[in-house]
A and B are shown apart, each in its own frame.
Chain A
Amino acid sequence: MSAAWIAVIAVGAGTLLLKAVGPVVVSGRRLHSRAAELLDMVAPAILAALVVTETFASGRSLVLDARLAGVAAGLVAVFFRAPLWLVVVVGALATALVRLVS
């Protein structure tokens, strides 16, 4: 079997299990209120981390590139309460423009 297929099968099976942990194993059980409070903060923590990695990470380096323009434009759109699709379009346009001229 080629390396590609080994990776496809292993990553696929592992991801299947990771996604199933919550809905299959934890589902239906009542959570302690303290646990629920902590879980409440997982979402903003992970999303903030995703913003940082999607904007600044390039492998193991932190870089400033055209993506930052996309994020800045997206922030302005969010500030003016633009719908989600507009945030995405504005983000793509700003990123592509800066990449074009730099």
Chain B
Amino acid sequence: MRRGARIAAPLFPAAAALGASFGVLARTAHFDALAAVVMSATTFAGSAQVATVSVLGAGGGVAAAIVAALLLNARYAPIGITVAQAFRGHVLKRFAQSQLVVDESWALAGGGTKRFDRRVLLGVGALLWIAWVGGTAIGALVGQTIGDPAKFGLDGAFAALFVALLAAQLTDRRRMAAAVGGAGIAAALIPFTAPGIPIIAATAAVAVGWRRT
């Protein structure tokens, strides 16, 4: 776990800043500070939380907000399955540990590869959880004075992070084909489906490996 925490340390300020921006956004969407912090502690998934408060803030219904968020998080079912073999022990222990699975902790721990290390995932996940929940609390309580986080380029930083994580995954031609297919499916669906669907649908790109074996 300590190795995971060390790997995640450079992401700590970015995650805390994004958490703060979520806290600010939540307040503008009429969440009280406690609701924002509870959401970060339990949902612990940036894009879904931002989607929830954006839909509610824009006057969308609560059902639409919930569906949008859960569609965004539906990817955690296949993501969790790729690392399921590494989780052992009592069902409650596995349940608790599974909550530390986020995109970054899964990818940094080598999720979906043979060198996957569950302890790295737990270390990264725990550190990011602290940053995320702490950042949310700061943003929700004093955030209005910080200003718009987009001007610090945090959104671009996370896009760059996913590029680096993807590059590490491209170890053979089949995985490259899956990446190209996944990117194509996502780009094609973004204009036509609710946010979240393009990412789930991208998993269909594994079909390229079906006929190659």
Contact present for A26 and B163 (CB under 8 Å) = no
- Looking at the complex, which one of B73, B84, B111, B150 makes contact with A43 (CB distance below 8 Å)? B111
Main secondary structure of the interface of A (DSSP, over half): helix
State the total of A-B contacts with C-beta under 8 angstroms: 338
Give A68 to B69 CA distance when docked, in angstroms: 25
Q: Mark A48-64, 1 if CB is under 8 A from B, else 0.
A: 11111111110111100
- Looking at the complex, which one of B11, B77, B157, B183 makes contact with A51 (CB distance below 8 Å)? B183
- Looking at the complex, which one of A8, A31, A40, A74 makes contact with B38 (CB distance below 8 Å)? A8
Q: Which bracket fits the contact residues of B?
A: 35 or more
Contact present for A91 and B98 (CB under 8 Å) = no
Contact present for A44 and B203 (CB under 8 Å) = no
Residue on A nearest B166 in the bound complex, by CB? A47
Residue on B nearest A72 in the bound complex, by CB? B160
Give A18 to B74 CA distance when docked, in angstroms: 6
Q: Does A46 contact B (CB under 8 A)?
A: yes
Contact present for B170 and A70 (CB under 8 Å) = no
Contact present for B83 and A42 (CB under 8 Å) = no
Q: Mark B57-92, 1 if CB is under 8 A from A, else 0.
A: 000001001100110011111111111110110010
Residues B31-49 near A (CB distance < 8 A): 31-32, 35, 38-39, 42-45, 48-49
Q: How many residues of A contact B (CB 8 A)?
A: 80
Residue on B nearest A61 in the bound complex, by CB? B191
**What residues of B have a CB within 8 angstroms of the CB of A16 in the complex?**
42, 99
Contact present for B79 and A44 (CB under 8 Å) = no
**What residues of B have a CB within 8 angstroms of the CB of A57 in the complex?**
190, 195, 198
Contact present for A45 and B205 (CB under 8 Å) = yes
Q: Does B97 contact A (CB under 8 A)?
A: yes
Given contacts A11-B48, A26-B81, contact A54 B94 (CB under 8 A): no
Distance (whole angstroms) from the CB of A95 to the closest CB of chain B: 3
Given contacts A49-B185, A92-B14, contact A41 B166 (CB under 8 A): no
Q: Does A24 contact B (CB under 8 A)?
A: yes
Distance (whole angstroms) from the CB of B96 to the closest CB of chain A: 9
Contact present for B95 and A71 (CB under 8 Å) = no
Give A41 to B32 CA distance when docked, in angstroms: 41
Contact present for B190 and A60 (CB under 8 Å) = yes
Give A96 to B160 CA distance when docked, in angstroms: 13
A-B contact pairs, 9 of them (CB 8 A): A19-B98, A19-B101, A27-B94, A38-B210, A39-B112, A41-B178, A50-B103, A51-B183, A53-B186
What would 5 more interface pairs be, CB under 8 Å, given A4-B26, A88-B10, A91-B157?
A20-B80, A25-B84, A26-B81, A53-B198, A95-B153
